Amino acid sequence: MIHPVSPGSIFMLPHGTRIVHKLQDFIRKQYSKYGYEEVMTPLMYKKDLWETSGHWQNYKDDMFLIKSGREEEGCQHHYDQDQQNNIDEGLFGLKPMNCPGHCLIFDSTPKSYRDLPIRLADFSPLHRNEASGALSGLTRVRRFHQDDAHIFCAEKHIASEITNCLSFVDYAYSAFKFPKYELTLSTRPKSHYIGSIEEWNHAEESLKNALNTTGRPWTVKEGDGAFYGPKIDIMVRDSSGKSHQTATIQLDFQLPRRFGLTYVDENDQHQTPVIIHRAVLGSIERMMAILIEHTHGKWPFWLSPRQGIVIPVATQYTEYAKKVANSLSLGNNSATETQNAVDRYYVDVDTSPRDRLNKMIRQAQLQQYNFIFVVGQKELDEGTANVRTRQGEILGTMTIPQIREMFASLNAKLE
C-alpha cells in the first residue's frame, strides 16, 4: 500500500490512493449537511504571512523553508545595501496548516453578521518538519493531508458550532465502528503562546462548557494546546486497544485579530470573529494506519480498495469478465439506487496466467476482495455472474443490476 523513500516520505500506491479517496469522499458527503464550502489554497506563502499569523515566531523550526532562486525586479540594488533583507524577501514557508490561507479568503470580501458562520474546508497537503525520531510509518509523516476546516463565527455561535463538530466526529467514528473514543481538553502551553492569559481563560472556559453539554466524560491535558488557542483532542482506541490522537477542535481568538478580520454586526459596528479549527479524521494518513490495524485489512465494503474481482473460468471469457467489471465499476446509474451510492466502485479483473479456479478464488479471498465474481459460458449467455464473498459464502447467480443494487445498499449502510 505504501513505499517508503526516506524518513517521513512515502509513495501512495493505487490501492492506498483508493482508500484516501474513499475517506475524502466520506467526509465530503457530510459537508452539505454541516454547511461547509470546500476551497483550495496555495502550498507556500511568503515569510510576511507567517509573521502575521505567529507561526514564524512560534512554529518556524517545524516548517520547511524555501529560498526563491529568482531575484525580484529591483532587488539587486537592495541586495548590495542589505544582503540579509534580500534573503528574507525571497523566503517562503511550506504551509504546515491551512488557517492563514483561510483567513485571507475570509478577508477577501466584506462580511456581515448575516454571513456567519462561514465554514471553509480544505484537503490541501501539509508539510511539517518533524524530528526524525518522531517519524513513524503512516502515523507521523512530513507530508500529509487533513480533512481540515475553519469556522468563522460570532461568540454566540461557539457552543452550537462545537456541538456540531462533535456530532460530525461521532458520526464518522460510529461508521468506522471504533469501540471507544475519548475527549481531552488541551490547555495553554507554558511558553510560546500568543494572546493574553485572560483570553486563554475565556477560550478554555468556552470549550469546557461545550464538552459538558455532550454528557460524555473528558479529561485535561495541561499545557498541550496549540500556540494560538486551546483545543479538544479526540483519542480513539482501535480493536487492539491501542490509543491514537486523531480529530481535533480548536478555539482561536488570536488569528482573527492578527489578520484584522472583521464583520459588521446588527448595529453596524465592526466586530472580530472567532475561528474554530476542526479536523474530523485528523491526518488522513494516520487514520489509514489506524484503520488498517482496526480492520486487520478486512475493509468494510464502503471503504474497501478491493470491493470486487471478476475471475473468468477460462481465457476465452476474459473480455466478458472485463465487461462485467466495467459495468459494476460505473456504480450509481440506476434509479433504484440510493442517493448515498458513490459514483464508482473498485472492481478488478483477474488476468493472471490460468490456474485452478479454486486456487484463484482462494487468492482473491486472501487479498480480501469483498466479493468474487466467477464468469463462464453460462454467465456470458445470461448476462450474469456467480457471486461469493471473501468469507466463502456463495450467493449464487446475480444479474449486473442486482449486484449494483447490493453494492448501493451496502454503501448506504456503511457496511
CATH number at residue 352: 3.40.50.800
Instruction: Write the CATH number for 155.
Output: 3.30.930.10
Query: Same structural domain for residues 212 and 148?
Result: yes
pLDDT in tens, 298-326: 999 999 999 999 999 999 999 999 999 99
- Residue with the larger pLDDT of the pair 131 and 26: 26
Asked whether the predicted pLDDT for residue 78 surpasses 80, the reply is no
Query: Same structural domain for residues 214 and 346?
Result: no
Average predicted confidence (pLDDT) for the chain: 88
Asked whether the predicted pLDDT for residue 288 surpasses 80, the reply is yes
- The grid cell for 72 is 525580484
Among the listed residues 99, 103, 153, 165, the single catalytic one is 99
Asked about 146 being catalytic, the answer comes back as yes
pLDDT in tens, 175-197: 999 878 899 999 999 888 888 89
Q: Determine, yes or no, domain membership for 280.
A: yes
Structural domain total, the chain: 2
Pick from 295, 320, 338: which residue ends a domain? 295
Query: Same structural domain for residues 21 and 131?
Result: yes
* Over residues 129-156, mean pLDDT: 86
Which range (140-144, 182-186, 220-224, 273-277) has the least confidence?
140-144
Residues contacting residue 215 through CB under 8 Å, at least 6 positions apart: none
Asked about 344 being catalytic, the answer comes back as no
Query: Same structural domain for residues 213 and 355?
Result: no
Among the listed residues 127, 231, 294, 404, the single catalytic one is 231
Pick from 263, 295, 327: which residue ends a domain? 295
pLDDT at site 310: 98
Q: Is-contact 218 184, C-beta < 8 A?
A: yes
Q: Determine, yes or no, domain membership for 53.
A: no
- The grid cell for 182 is 475519548
Measured between alpha carbons, how far is 290 from 393 in angstroms, rounded to an integer? 28
Under the banding of pLDDT at 50, 70 and 90, the label for residue 331 is: low
Query: Same structural domain for residues 214 and 262?
Result: yes
Query: Same structural domain for residues 347 and 274?
Result: no
Among the listed residues 122, 147, 148, 238, the single catalytic one is 148
Under the banding of pLDDT at 50, 70 and 90, the label for residue 395 is: very high
Measured between alpha carbons, how far is 300 from 221 in angstroms, rounded to an integer? 34
Residue-number span of the structural domain to which 264 is assigned:
14-43+95-295
Give the single-character DSSP code of 60.
G
Asked about 75 being catalytic, the answer comes back as no
Among the listed residues 18, 119, 142, 150, the single catalytic one is 150
Under the banding of pLDDT at 50, 70 and 90, the label for residue 227 is: confident
Q: Determine, yes or no, domain membership for 8.
A: no
Angle, helix 158-175 to helix 197-214, in steps of 10 degrees: 50
Among the listed residues 47, 55, 127, 128, the single catalytic one is 128
Collapsed DSSP state (helix, strand, coil) of residue 367: coil
Buried b (16+ CB within 10 A) or exposed e, 323-347: bbbebbeebbeeeebeeebbeebbb
Q: Tell me the pTM.
A: 0.86
Query: Same structural domain for residues 234 and 305?
Result: no
Query: Same structural domain for residues 281 and 187?
Result: yes
Residues contacting residue 279 through CB under 8 Å, at least 6 positions apart: 146, 147, 148, 149, 247, 248
Under the banding of pLDDT at 50, 70 and 90, the label for residue 291 is: very high
Query: Same structural domain for residues 269 and 321?
Result: no
Asked whether the predicted pLDDT for residue 351 surpasses 70, the reply is yes
Q: Determine, yes or no, domain membership for 75.
A: no
- Residue with the larger pLDDT of the pair 6 and 232: 232
Query: Same structural domain for residues 205 and 318?
Result: no
DSSP 305-363: S--EEEEESSGGGHHHHHHHHHHHHT----TTS-TT--S---EEE--SPP--HHHHHHH
Closest listed residue to residue 172, CA positions, set 2, 345, 337, 31 = 31
Q: Determine, yes or no, domain membership for 172.
A: yes
Pick from 262, 277, 295: which residue ends a domain? 295
Asked about 122 being catalytic, the answer comes back as no
Bridge partners of residue 250, in order along the sequence? 231, 277
Among the listed residues 145, 146, 238, 350, the single catalytic one is 146
Q: Determine, yes or no, domain membership for 348.
A: yes
Measured between alpha carbons, how far is 108 from 91 in angstroms, rounded to an integer? 24
Asked about 128 being catalytic, the answer comes back as yes
Query: Same structural domain for residues 187 and 276?
Result: yes
pLDDT at site 194: 85
Among the listed residues 55, 142, 277, 388, the single catalytic one is 277
Q: Determine, yes or no, domain membership for 168.
A: yes
Share of the chain above pLDDT 70, in %: 90
Asked about 339 being catalytic, the answer comes back as no
Asked whether the predicted pLDDT for residue 71 surpasses 60, the reply is no
Which residue has 474481482 as its cell numbers? 309
- The grid cell for 319 is 473480455
pLDDT at site 340: 43
Asked about 296 being catalytic, the answer comes back as no
Query: Same structural domain for residues 375 and 231?
Result: no
Measured between alpha carbons, how far is 248 from 233 in angstroms, rounded to an integer? 5
Relative to beta strand 270-271, strand 274-283 is: unpaired
Which range (193-197, 334-338, 343-347) has the least confidence?
334-338
Under the banding of pLDDT at 50, 70 and 90, the label for residue 6 is: low
The CA distances from residue 312 to 347, 380, 402, 407, in Å, are 14, 10, 19, 21
Asked whether the predicted pLDDT for residue 68 surpasses 60, the reply is yes
